[in-house]
Amino acid sequence: MNNIMELKCSAVSSNESFARVTVAAFVSQLDPTVDELNEIKTVVSEAVTNAVIHGYKDKEDGFVFIRVELDEERIHLMIQDEGIGMDDVHEARQPMYTSKPEMERSGMGFTIMENFMDEVDISSSPLMGTTVKMTKRLSQRKALCN
């Protein structure tokens, strides 16, 4: 049986660090490497920040929904908002693309997610929100011999 955690938090920037630490604590039970854990924390940070900044355009009346499912060797993440959504997901996935150039955003969030995770699926509809689903297979480590 898989282990599942769900989290709902207000779409405010200060909850980004809460989300990444909460997910990291939950994922830690699979004993990931330090690098794997840092990559997971980074993608959670990027996805939550996208939801807050782009999905809700800094309006504080929305929520970010996070679901983490663990199986024996994989982590499945889903980060979702009910914000403004995107017209063109393909365009948004392009490196350096940002809908907020005035905020000096780097436009690398989706690129970072794609580099750190094995699978990334993004679905979005205007006025309906965005869902980012990601999967990462943990490295297989050999047991240490005495």
- In sequence order, what E strands does the chain have? 3-10, 63-70, 74-81, 119-125, 129-137
Structure tokens at 114: 């794609």
Angle at 130 between CA 102 and CA 135, to 5 degrees: 110
One-letter amino acid of 69: E
- Cα 17 from Cα 14, distance rounded (Å): 7
Residue for token pair 């690098």: 35
| Residues classed as catalytic | 46, 50, 105
**Which one-letter DSSP state was computed for residue 140?**
P
